[in-house]
Structure 1
Amino acid sequence: MPKLPDSEMPRTRGRPRAFNEKTEQNTIKSLDRALGVLKELAQIESATLSELATAMKESPATLYRVLTTFALHGIVEMDETAQTWHIGSEAYQIGSAFLRRTSLIDVSRPILRKLMQETGETANLGIEKNGSVFFMSQIETNAPIRAFFPPGTLSEMHASGIGKALLAHMDETQLKRFAARGLQTFTPHTLATPESLAADMVTTRERGYALDDQEKNLGMRCIAAPIQDAYGEVIAGISVSGPTTRVSTDHIETLAKSVMRAAQDVSNALGAKTSEPS
């Protein structure tokens, strides 16, 4: 069959006719560099121009032009007193469009609030993103000592309650592939070997909830349970986090029942058919 000339080729929605070309040919290098600056600043949260230039191995003059351009749109802001740059409010507005894209946030929000009120601890919602936990939503407790995972935070899966709840529902091949990347040690309690992590995944599946027992931060515990969609697939996790003084060992089972019930409520709202946790 003869190939149609470009002028007669059907146009693909969302892409120009040249969309089949290599990625490099369709990339605006200056924009790619600017977005790299934005990602770096988001990761370190606050930096002077010289600190950011050092971190990125870039010219301060180049970075200044990028930052001032973003500042014109409110995407970054500068603290004039400290001479430090931060992510701006407009970046939050743009990021919120991602959160609005899925009903998971809307469905979970009132359930997170109820979970926080019931347990007295901070309630969290997270998904897996590129091998890490991506926190999508949080309802903070009013207690003076509390966990804090603002939306957009990334955390290591093997040292996170939600991460372990998600890992427990991966198949054996996926779990081995994840562990083979290396498991960083954060505290003496971190499960930093494939064998210890695999054993904990068996326990997690059997009891229906995951436990981060001071594995990322000493003095903090997190209890999490998986959320299923209408197809019965685990797509997210919900948790409560707090200091070991309140989330004590003799209180774990009671909190776990609340967390599993909340996970069931979210799952059912998404169309899953789940049973009442025992």
Structure 2
Amino acid sequence: MVSQKNGAGSPRKARGRPRAWDDKTAQNTIKSLDRAMEVFEYLSEAQGKSLTMLSDEMQQSPATVYRILVTLEGRGLVEFDPVEQIWHIGPRAFVIGSRFLRRTSLVDRARPVMRKLMEATGETANLGIQKEGSVLFLSQVETHASIRAFFPPGTLSPMHASGIGKVLLAHMDEDRLDRLLSSVQLQAFTDRSITTVEDLKRDLTSIRARGFSIDNEEKNEGMRCIAAPVFDVNGEAVAGISVSGPTSRVREDGIEQLSRPVIEAGQALTQAIGGTVK
């Protein structure tokens, strides 16, 4: 690496950001870029939108939104379907997202553990972390069965209606848990969804006691999920590993038996990343 020197002859210290890096005021914000990212993020959450829909729902002018979309299209981040006249997230977005996943060894270390879990249970294995109050699915090993759960990498899901989400909530300290729950709405997705903080906390207490969580048709009717925590070197739950499948195979009377390989997978991945097994 070539080193640069200042006028005094001493090496110039490399900087990744200016001294006032923590200044988030308007002078350090590129408004047009910020607006473009709003459109990009909105489209990623609501796939398949026409220009009219995007501009109406985001309350932005069609001309502004169109310029943003065309610019993002040039980078492969979005793409346009000329037949349906709708916009989608483009393949380049997946490439960039995959680079984020490679920042940590968690995903790489998880693959053989998840593959073994899928083979042991016959159900789809999933890996997820907490991201801004939601579960972010990082990886999946699908079952060979025709009916199966599908959570592609990058999918976000509410924590209170997710096996991985609830197992992560169960191992949060009380203050952090209360802050997070105060900022989210416990939405009802099915008749089995947990919609009050009191009921959720009772469920979290049970999860801590038995070592695994259950999404019992709380997000999608006809689907169950069993999840266990993955701990880091400090003993904090940094991820969750799970199996999910239809209720016809993941029966209530088989949950206890199915939970054993899930817990073992959580422990195996904890050890693989140098964590502390609880």
Common topology (TM > 0.5) = yes
Give distance in 1, aligned partners of 2:71 and 2:182. Answer: 41
**What is the match of residue 213 of structure 1?**
216
Q: Is the 8 A contact 1:176 1:194 kept in 2?
A: no
**What is the match of residue 247 of structure 1?**
250
Question: Which deviates further from its counterpart, 258-267 or 19-28?
Answer: 19-28
Give distance in 2, aligned partners of 1:101 and 1:49. Answer: 34
Give distance in 2, aligned partners of 1:149 and 1:20. Answer: 35
Give distance in 2, aligned partners of 1:226 and 1:267. Answer: 8
Question: Which deviates further from its counterpart, 109-118 or 242-251?
Answer: 109-118
**What is the match of residue 131 of structure 1?**
133
Q: Is the 8 A contact 1:11 1:17 kept in 2?
A: no
**What is the match of residue 259 of structure 1?**
262
1:27, distance to aligned residue in structure 2 (A): 0.9
1:131, distance to aligned residue in structure 2 (A): 1.2
Give distance in 2, aligned partners of 1:58 and 1:140. Answer: 40
**What is the match of residue 49 of structure 1?**
51
Give distance in 2, aligned partners of 1:17 and 1:233. Answer: 32
Tell me whether 1:201 sits opposite 2:204 in the alignment.
yes
**What is the match of residue 115 of structure 2?**
113
What is the aligned-residue RMSD (CA, Å)? 1.9
CA offsets per residue over residues 80-106 of structure 1, 9 Å max, x none? 211111111111111111100001011
**What is the match of residue 167 of structure 1?**
169
- Overall identity of the aligned pairs, in %: 56
**What is the match of residue 3 of structure 1?**
none
- 1:22-101 maps to which residues of 2 (within 5 A)? 22-101=24-103
In structure 2, the gaps of 5 or more residues are 1-6
Give 1:229's match in structure 2, choosing from 229, 232, 254: 232
**What is the match of residue 3 of structure 2?**
none
Q: TM-score, normalised by structure 1?
A: 0.91
Q: Is the 8 A contact 1:180 1:194 kept in 2?
A: no
Give distance in 1, aligned partners of 2:177 and 2:267. Answer: 24
1:272, distance to aligned residue in structure 2 (A): 2.4
Number of equivalences: 268
Q: TM-score, normalised by structure 2?
A: 0.91
CA distance 1:81–1:11, shift in 2 (3 Å): same
Partner AA of 2:133 in structure 1: G
1:274, distance to aligned residue in structure 2 (A): 2.5
CA distance 1:20–1:272, shift in 2 (3 Å): closer
Give distance in 2, aligned partners of 1:18 and 1:262. Answer: 44
Give distance in 2, aligned partners of 1:256 and 1:223. Answer: 6
Give distance in 2, aligned partners of 1:117 and 1:145. Answer: 16
SS at match of 1:19: coil
